[in-house]
């Protein structure tokens, strides 16, 4: 029997990358999965191709290959009504909600005074307000189920230390920390734990954004902000992050809430 047998998880940004990997790993431990992704381009400033409906369908296939049930739907985390509709369908189908992974996010680059208003607002709307809307849509079902549960918000190294050419990303990811801590306090009485994780670079399409290389070529002094202690690999594997997500989702972390778990190869310490 897996660590999450009989539980149900809601995961955003699940069409590929970290979100898909979290879905597969949780399913392998016995959880049924409600998975959403926008499956569309959301910002012309991103230097990587967007996920597709076919990617999300493959996530469903991979969950079901683990012997678990999956409900997948296209939904934008900026759209509260779309999120709520998927949550309602999932709870009706599976009968409960125990785990939420607010994973959806984008990343792009610019110096803050050269950044168009739309680039700033789009990233904040997805990476911060989208996390709030995800929690707002899911928490009532978790409270109603009365089983406690675990919420994991995906922040970043940029949520623990500021990074140049990413003022908008740093602001959003720092904001996720504040939201996480407040939510942990408010949900403690319901035995719902809320924690944030803080990966550095991960081997996903977003983590391999070629636009980052252009920034470092144009502004080489910024490289000093992107060092790490563990240097064997410049990018973590998705499983490295999913290991931590699984621990926070399970009862093994039952004493942990309001915490910030750095999965950063020591990048926040240099």
Catalytic residue IDs: 169
How far is it, in rounded angstroms, from Cα 267 to Cα 270?
6
Compute how many other C-beta atoms are within 10 angstroms of the C-beta atom of residue 122.
20
d(CA 189, CA 133) in angstroms, rounded, equals 21
- The DSSP code sequence of 130-143 is HHHHHHHHHHHHHH
Given a contact cutoff of 8 angstroms between Cβ atoms, the answer to whether 50 and 42 are in contact is: yes
Segment (H or E) for 32: strand 32-37
How distant is the alpha carbon of residue 134 from its chain centre?
11
Beta strands at 70-74 and 99-102: parallel, antiparallel or unpaired: unpaired
Could you tell me which residues come within 8 angstroms of residue 47 by beta carbon, excluding any fewer than 6 positions away? 108, 109, 209, 210, 211, 212
The CA distances from residue 266 to 117, 154, 222, 227, in Å, are 33, 17, 18, 9
Cα separation, 80 vs 87, in Å, equals: 11
The angle, 0 to 180 degrees and rounded to 10, between the axes of the packed helices 117-124 and 167-187 is 30
């Amino acid at each position: 029997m897996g660590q999450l047998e009989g539980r149900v998880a809601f995961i955003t940004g699940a069409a590929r990358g970290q979100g898909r990997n979290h879905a597969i790993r949780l399913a392998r431990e016995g959880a049924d999965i409600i998975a959403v992704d926008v499956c569309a381009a959301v910002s012309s400033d991103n230097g990587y191709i967007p996920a597709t409906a076919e990617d999300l369908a493959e996530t469903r296939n991979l969950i079901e290959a683990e012997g678990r049930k999956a409900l997948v739907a296209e939904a934008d985390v900026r759209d509260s009504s779309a999120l709520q509709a998927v949550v309602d369908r999932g709870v009706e189908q599976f009968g409960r909600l125990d785990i939420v992974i607010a994973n959806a996010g984008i990343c792009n680059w610019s110096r803050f005074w050269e950044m168009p208003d739309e680039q700033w607002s789009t990233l904040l709307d997805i990476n911060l307000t989208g996390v709030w809307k995800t929690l707002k849509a899911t928490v009532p079902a978790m409270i109603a189920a009365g089983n406690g549960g675990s919420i994991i918000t995906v922040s970043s190294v940029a949520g623990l230390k500021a990074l140049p050419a990413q003022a908008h990303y740093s602001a959003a990811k720092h904001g996720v920390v504040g939201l996480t801590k407040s939510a942990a306090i408010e949900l403690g009485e319901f035995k719902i734990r809320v924690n944030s994780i803080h990966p550095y670079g991960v081997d996903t399409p977003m983590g391999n954004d070629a636009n980052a290389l252009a920034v470092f070529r144009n502004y080489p002094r910024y490289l000093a902000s992107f060092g790490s202690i563990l240097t064997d690999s410049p990018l973590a594997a998705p499983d490295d992050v999913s290991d931590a997500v699984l621990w926070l989702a399970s009862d093994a972390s039952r004493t942990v809430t309001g915490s910030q778990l750095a999965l950063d190869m020591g990048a926040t310490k240099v």
